[in-house]
Amino acid sequence: AQSVTQLDSQVPVFEEAPVELRCNYSSSVSVYLFWYVQYPNQGLQLLLKYLSGSTLVKGINGFEAEFNKSQTSFHLRKPSVHISDTAEYFCAVSGNYGQNFVFGPGTRLSVLP
Amino acid sequence: DGGITQSPKYLFRKEGQNVTLSCEQNLNHDAMYWYRQDPGQGLRLIYYSQIVNDFQKGDIAEGYSVSREKKESFPLTVTSAQKNPTAFYLCASSISGVNNEQFFGPGTRLTVL
């Protein structure tokens, strides 16, 4: 069975500082990995996804993530955050044998002025 | 514009009443999903449907029911058997295939008084 761990439930960071949100997964099969963002009282919006190919994936709003198969990680990074990046971020994994998406518990990013 | 609509945005019901949450999509997606979101617990899958007139239980289906009579629509009924129905409910859809991203609606916040 697949699972996703997001070790940091909350990450406070000052505006214009870099940030990394951590995501680790466990799966015995090939995986597809996703990061979603959720603003308060809204649905989820896809930031980026890794399906195959280059392990460095660039997404919207200046975010990027790196797939590391040996460490089973897919950490999300942004070199300089803005107040508007304050939101909840979810990592998700799906497999190629009919498994559904499995979401991590989420990380609440708070960008401070 | 293509997308997913959920109505209403906020819903209040008395304990013991059944309530139906609407989800409609005009993306021509075959697959649709219902998730429940509680603070600190991420998203949990209630039901999903890969094709019209067929649906499968997710991880927390007890106390919920669904129907999929049309490709565009996937309503969720929260029955009186659901012990703790107050939550944020999210509907999603995707092209069939496990590596395809899920598109989310704006969500319905259900409060049972």
Of the candidate ranges B22-36, B63-77, B85-99, the one whose mean pLDDT is the lowest: B85-99
Nearest CA in chain A to B56: A100
The percent of residues in chain A predicted with pLDDT above 70, rounded, is 95
Q: Which residues in chain B have their CB less than 8 angstroms from residue A46's CB?
A: 101, 103
pLDDT bracket for residue A96 (50, 70, 90):
low
By the 10 Å C-beta count (0-12 exposed, 13-18 middle, 19+ buried), A75 is classed as middle
pLDDT, position B96: 76
Query: Which of B6, B88, B96, B102 to substitute to test the interface with A, most A CBs within 10 Å?
Result: B102
* Contact status of A32 with chain B (Cβ, < 8 Å): yes
pLDDT, position B97: 66
Peptide bond into A12 cis (omega under 30): no
* Contact status of A97 with chain B (Cβ, < 8 Å): yes
Q: What DSSP string runs through A24-63? A: EEE-SS-EEEEEEEE-TTS-EEEEEEE-SS-SEEE-GGG-
* Contact status of B11 with chain A (Cβ, < 8 Å): no
Distance of CA B58 to the CA centre of its chain: 11
Instruction: Identify the DSSP state of B63.
Output: T
Tell me the per-residue pLDDT of A22-52, one tens digit each, with 9 for 90 and over: 999 987 677 889 999 999 889 999 999 998 8
Task: Tell me the three state secondary structure of residue A84.
Answer: helix
pLDDT bracket for residue B106 (50, 70, 90):
very high
pLDDT bracket for residue B81 (50, 70, 90):
confident
Flag whether pLDDT at A98 surpasses 60: no
pLDDT, chain A, mean: 91
